[in-house]
Every structure is written in structure tokens, then in C-alpha cells.
Amino acid sequence: MAKQKLTQNQKRRIHSNNAKALDRHRRQARKDIDWQEDMLGDTQDGVVVTRYSMHADVESTQGEIFRCNLRRTLSSVVVGDQVVWRAGQEQLQGISGVIEAVKPRKNSLARPDYYDGLKVMASNIDRIIIVSAVLPTLSLNIIDRYLVICETANIPAVIVLNKVDLLSDEELANAEAQLKIYQDIGYETLMISAQTGKNMEKLTALLSHGTSIFVGQSGVGKSSLVNQIMPEVNAQIGAVSENSGLGQHTTTSSRLYHLPQGGELIDSPGIREFGLWHLEADQITKGYREFQYFLGTCKFRDCKHLNDPECALREAVEQGKIHPVRFENYHRLILSREENKSQRHFVE
Ligand SMILES: Nc1nc2c(ncn2[C@@H]2O[C@H](COP(=O)(O)OP(=O)(O)OP(=O)(O)O)[C@@H](O)[C@H]2O)c(=O)[nH]1
Ligand SMILES: [Mg+2]
Ligand SMILES: [Zn+2]
């Protein structure tokens, strides 16, 4: 008899049970070190520079890195977190201390996870650098997804287009025109090449104060840019697959670096699909900053901005005040959010 195909729900349940079993296993493994009071020094301040599945690397105020366990009571510890931690009197199984508490976050960058609900990726960020590239193809839809996240979290965004060394003059002009859509609505944009170093000085100048994070698809060259800025870091990079045209998810955990000219930079792993289904439709609408001026002036209060009569947004598009590509992407985001919502019920 042919094997019956699993439904989405069944697949999700299997994955979820599997993840829970792994988590139990991890917790048991963690229990192996039961830090006793007298084994630990005084509490001190630190910052999380990398979060792994079972532990985290904490940087002390003296700039030393300590691999730490996490108290089981802590619900979320991410790169960028300011923490209170205690060093062990000695190293146990490669672990040098324990994180006791996470200080309140100034802000955080989160994304919905298919199985695990909302996942915080990093915290205390001053600037999000959306890295895109001409290989894999430049996708304005992905840029828009990130921009909605940046607007919702109220974190300034910069759009960087990498690998421009691969473009002919004509393609370069075309890419410039696409980036102009974003400049016109007030976003800073930059065309760069980690390979040739083109415009790298502009990027480093931008990063020289506050904490920035590189986000973007796998393979766009985030870690290559880190290496270009700080060759001594020697971050791992991976080729874009010739078959699929996609990145290989080379970076596996986010990592915070101190830049020589000042400022902090977080390199993050590429994400296959940056979903927006944790947001309400009107949050997505608010995530389009150039729409704000027109919102509330549509004829109908529940205007969907599609074929509704006297839609102020559509009129603005017709009058050249809103770029049609942004308007189209907006409707694609709303639609994909609705499709995801109906297929997936996820716990928040
Ligand atoms: N031609 C060209 N190739 C580049 C440039 N920057 C990066 N690459 C190449 O792009 C590929 C992917 O680079 P990575 O730096 O690993 O990309 P990433 O964004 O860190 O990817 P993940 O860690 O998987 O998220 C590598 O083969 C790099 O050599 C560039 O400016 N020009
Ligand atoms: Mg990387
Ligand atoms: Zn409308």
C-alpha cells in the first residue's frame, strides 16, 4: 500500500515533538553542571557576544570572553543582551561561568519561527544594515520585509547593495534606479563590493558609533563584509550554490564584534524566509513609511487599498507620489501574510 502523505499539521507536530525531545536532552545535559554558590564569584556586568543553543559567550567589562551556562529560569538570552553573570572558580567542561539575569532591553529584533513562535534574534540595536546583493538576485520584496520590521521596531535602517563588481555599466544603472526608490523615501543606501572594497570607507564610517547589525539572505556577503572591515576576524564565508543560486547558510550564530574605529557590529546568519505573519495587517501598512501621509484619507475607513473607490493610496500611486513597486510589494506582503495565517497557527 502506498504510504499516506503527511498533512502540514502532522509534519508540524512531528517536528515540534522532535524539537521538544532535543530540548529536554539539552536541559539534561546542562544539568550536568550544577553551579554551587561557593563555586561562583561575585556578580558582574557583561554583554552577550554569541548565543549558541546551550550556552552563550559573555564579554566581561575588561573585554575577556567567558563561555557561560544560562540559568534555567531565563526565557531568552540573545546577542547584544546586557547581562549579569558570575565567573566560576574553575572551568568545568569548557564552561567558565553562568548568566544570572538579562537587563531590560532597549529594543529587539524578532522574527516569527515556523515551529517555535516568535524568536528574538538580537537586542539593543541602533541601526539595521539590510544587506542585499546582485547574487542571489536583488529582491526588493525582501528589502521591504526587512524595512517593515525596522519601522515596527523603530530602528533606523540602511540598505546596502553588495557585489556591485559583478555588474555591467547598464546593470549598475538599473540597480541605482532601484535603490533610488528607497532614497526618495528617506532611506540611506549604499552600493558596495566586499571584493574590490568599493565604498567600504562609507560603510565603515556609518558603523563607527552605536551597535549595527547585518541582516539579509544567506550568501549576500555579510561575513565577507565583516572580513573586509576586520581581516583579523577571519569569519567563515561560503560560496553561493551554482545549482540553486542560494547561499549555504554558512554563518550559524550571530556574533558581536567591536570595530577598531568605534562602534559594534553584529554579523547574523542568513534567513531563508523572513516572515511577517506575527504582525497585524495595519502594522505592515505602517511599515511603509511613505504611506503614512495618505492613510486615513481613503473614502472608506476599512479601505483595503485595492480596487476600493477613492483610495488615497492608489491615487497617490497614480500621481507618482508612491512608487508602484512598493505598492505592489505591499499587497504581496499582505497576501502572503494572510495565506500563512490560514495555514499556520503558531504560538506566540
Ligand atoms: N563577486 C563578489 N562576491 C562576493 C562579494 N561579497 C561576498 N561575495 C561572495 O559571496 C559568497 C557568500 O558570502 P558570505 O560572506 O559567506 O555571505 P553571508 O551573507 O555571510 O552568508 P550566510 O552566512 O550564509 O548568511 C562568497 O562566495 C563570497 O566570496 C562581492 O562583493 N563580490
Ligand atoms: Mg555569513
Ligand atoms: Zn485605500
Question: 22 vs 27, 33, 51, 271, CA distance in Å?
Answer: 9, 18, 17, 22
- Which one is predicted more confidently, 222 or 29? 222
pLDDT over 50 at 83, yes or no? yes
* Residue 347 scores a pLDDT above 90: no
Give pLDDT, residue 328: 97
**Residues with C-beta atoms within 5 A of ion ligand 2:** 222-223, 250-251
Residue 343 has pLDDT above 70, yes or no: no
Q: Is the beta carbon of 165 within 6 A of some atom in ligand 1?
A: yes
Using the CB atoms, write b or e for 262-287: b if 16+ within 10 Å.
Answer: ebbbbbbbbbeebbbbbbeeeebbbb
Q: What angle do CA 17, 23, 27 make, to 5 degrees?
A: 145
- Residue whose Cα lies nearest atom 32 of ligand 1: it is 163
* Closest ligand relative to 308 C-alpha: 3
Q: Tell me the per-residue pLDDT of 115-166, one tens digit each, with 9 for 90 and over.
A: 767 889 999 999 999 999 998 889 999 999 999 999 999 999 999 999 999 9
Average pLDDT over residues 316-338: 95
Cα of 145 from ligand 1 centre, angstroms = 21
Please say if the pLDDT value at position 233 is more than 90.
yes
For residue 249, give the ligand 1 atom closest to its CA.
24
Mean pLDDT of 45-67: 96
Measured in residues, the chain has a length of: 348
Pairwise CA distance, residues 303 & 312, whole Å:
9
pLDDT of 114 > 80? The answer is no
| Residue of 115, 112, 186 lying closest to 147 (CA atoms) | 186
254 has a pLDDT exceeding 70: yes
CB of 193 closer than 6 angstroms to any ligand 1 atom: yes
Q: CA-to-CA distance for 334 and 340, rounded, in angstroms?
A: 10
Q: How far is the CA of 296 from the centre of ligand 3 (A)?
A: 8
Ligand 1 center to 167 CA (angstroms): 15
Q: Which residue has the cell 481613503?
A: 298
| Percent of the chain at pLDDT exceeding 90 | 73
Distance of CA 110 from the midpoint of ligand 1 (Å):
24
- State the pLDDT at residue 19: 78
Which residues, 6+ apart, have CB-to-CB distance to 29 below 8 Å?
Answer: 54
Phi, psi of 324 (to 5 degrees): -60, -30
Strand, helix or coil for residue 287: coil
Separation of alpha carbons 46 and 57, rounded Å: 10
> How many angstroms separate the alpha carbon of residue 292 from the centre of ligand 3?
11
More confident residue, 117 or 207: 207
Evaluate whether 248 touches 222 at the Cβ level (below 8 Å).
no
What gap in Å lies between CA 298 and CA 4, rounded to an integer? 50
Q: pTM surpassing 0.75?
A: yes
Does residue 218's CB lie within 6 angstroms of at least one atom of ligand 1? Answer: yes
User: 299: which 3 cell numbers?
Assistant: 473614502
Percent of the chain scored above 70 by pLDDT? 93
Q: Is 163 in the pocket of ligand 1 (CB under 6 A)?
A: yes
Phi, psi of 244 (to 5 degrees): -90, -20
Cα 250 to averaged position of ligand 1 atoms, centre (Å):
10
> How does the average pLDDT of the chain come out, rounded?
91
Atom from ligand 1 closest to the CA of residue 251: 23
CB atoms within 10 A of CB 121: 22
Q: What is the three-state SS of 52-103?
A: CCCCEEEEECCCCEEEEEECCCCCCCCECCEEEEEEEEEEECCEEEEEEEEC
State mean pLDDT over 263-288.
Answer: 91
Q: Tell me, rounded to whole angstroms, the distance of Cα 13 from its chain centroid.
A: 26
238 lines ligand 1 (CB under 6 A): yes
Measured in Å, residue 290 CA sits from the centre of ligand 3 at: 14
Distance in angstroms (rounded) separating the CA atoms of residues 343 and 219: 29
Under 8 Å between Cβ of 212 and 266: yes
pLDDT at res. 277: 82
pLDDT recorded at residue 32: 52
Ligand 1 touching residue 254 (CB < 6 A): no
Amino acid letter, residue 168: S
> 64 C-alpha vs ligand 1 centroid, how far in Å?
29
Q: From the CB of 98, is ligand 1 less than 6 Å away?
A: no
**Average pLDDT value for residue range 102-123:** 89
Residue 278 banded pLDDT, cuts 50, 70, 90:
confident
Q: Is the pLDDT score of 329 beyond 80? A: yes
Q: What pLDDT shows up at residue 337? A: 86
For ligand 3, the distance from its centroid to the CA atom of residue 348, given in whole angstroms, is: 30
Q: Which atom of ligand 1 lies at the shortest distance from residue 247's CA?
A: 24
Q: Is 237 in the pocket of ligand 1 (CB under 6 A)?
A: yes
pLDDT tens digits, one per residue of 237-253: 999 988 888 898 999 99
Among 224, 227, 230, say which to mutate for ligand 1: greatest number of ligand atoms within 8 Å of CB.
224
Whose Cα sits closest to atom 2 in ligand 1? 163
> Is residue 330 over pLDDT 90?
yes
